[in-house]
């Protein structure tokens, strides 16, 4: 079973449709770059967001024959004929046996893990709504919700939003701080492939957590403090 993702191009007004597996790993894009090379910036962006970047790189098998194959009449005038050369292979195709795959050297590939979510107290933020479910956390920044909802999960992300008076979705130019209810369901509204070990509790925060907050983190993310 396969699903789809839509990626907004930052260079044009186009949208690109991405095919992903049922484990949220992107495998195909409708852009020309993917058609030519089997890989594109849209695939990489979705893979990073879903935590599947290492898997995409590991499974990528470049078509070296297509990459090194010359096209057109390079260096020739429009009416000048192209000299045909005899191929040294039996089927007339260029041998690529002498080429090395640069991605085979896995020790040169070191992608950072996606950022974790950090537990913070609502009173130390200016947030009002959960970025995941969109529900209200508090009506005013002067209000502190009752426990355990007076803690939230914070992380910097590229924020998707709809500007006031417009219908189209826009993506922030840089990562911004967003906040989630301390619930797995809320995290998965924006991040489908997330586990409890992606949530961290700073030591100074852990010391101030009450029993209800600890129970909520244990129930949702398996964090035993």
Please compute, for residue 23, the number of CA atoms within 13 A of its CA located in the half-sphere on the CB side.
7
**Structure confidence by residue, pLDDT tens digits, 159-216:** 888 888 877 778 888 889 999 999 999 999 888 777 778 899 999 999 999 999 999 9
Q: Are residues 199 and 124 in the same domain?
A: yes
Q: Are residues 136 and 217 in the same domain?
A: yes
Q: Are residues 128 and 203 in the same domain?
A: yes
Rounded to an integer, what distance in angstroms lies between the CA atom of residue 49 and that of residue 157? 9
Q: Could you tell me where the beta strands, DSSP code E, fall in the chain?
A: 2-8, 15-21, 26-29, 117-121, 151-157, 160-161, 170-171, 176-180, 199-200
Q: What is the pTM of this model?
A: 0.52
Domain assignment present for 37: yes
What b-and-e string marks burial along 111-148, b requiring 16 or more CB atoms within 10 Å of the CB?
eeebeebebbebeeeebeebbbbeeebbeeeeeebeeb
**Position with higher pLDDT, 51 vs 217:** 217
**Structure confidence by residue, pLDDT tens digits, 19-49:** 888 777 888 888 888 888 888 888 888 888 8
pLDDT tier at 18 (50, 70, 90 boundaries)?
A: confident
Number of domains in the chain: 2
């Amino acid at each position: 079973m396969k699903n789809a993702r839509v990626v907004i191009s930052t260079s044009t007004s186009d949208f690109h449709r991405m095919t992903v597996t049922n484990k949220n790993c992107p495998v195909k894009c409708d852009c020309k770059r993917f058609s030519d090379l089997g890989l594109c910036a849209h695939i990489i962006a979705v893979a990073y967001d879903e935590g599947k970047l290492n898997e995409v790189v590991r499974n990528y098998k470049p078509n070296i024959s297509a990459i090194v194959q010359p096209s057109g009449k390079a260096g020739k005038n429009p009416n000048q004929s192209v000299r045909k050369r005899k191929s040294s292979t039996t089927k007339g195709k260029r041998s690529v046996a002498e080429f090395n795959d640069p991605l085979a050297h896995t020790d040169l590939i070191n992608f950072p893990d996606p950022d974790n979510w950090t537990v913070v107290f609502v009173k130390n933020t200016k947030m009002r709504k959960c970025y995941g479910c969109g529900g209200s956390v508090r009506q005013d920044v002067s209000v502190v919700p009752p426990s355990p909802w007076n803690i939230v999960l914070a992380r910097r992300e590229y924020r998707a939003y709809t500007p006031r008076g417009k219908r189209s979705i826009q993506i922030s130019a840089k990562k911004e701080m967003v906040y989630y209810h301390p619930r797995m369901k809320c995290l998965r509204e924006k991040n489908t492939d997330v586990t409890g070990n992606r949530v961290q509790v700073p030591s100074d925060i852990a010391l101030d957590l009450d029993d209800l907050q600890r129970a909520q983190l244990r129930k949702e993310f398996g964090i035993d403090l």
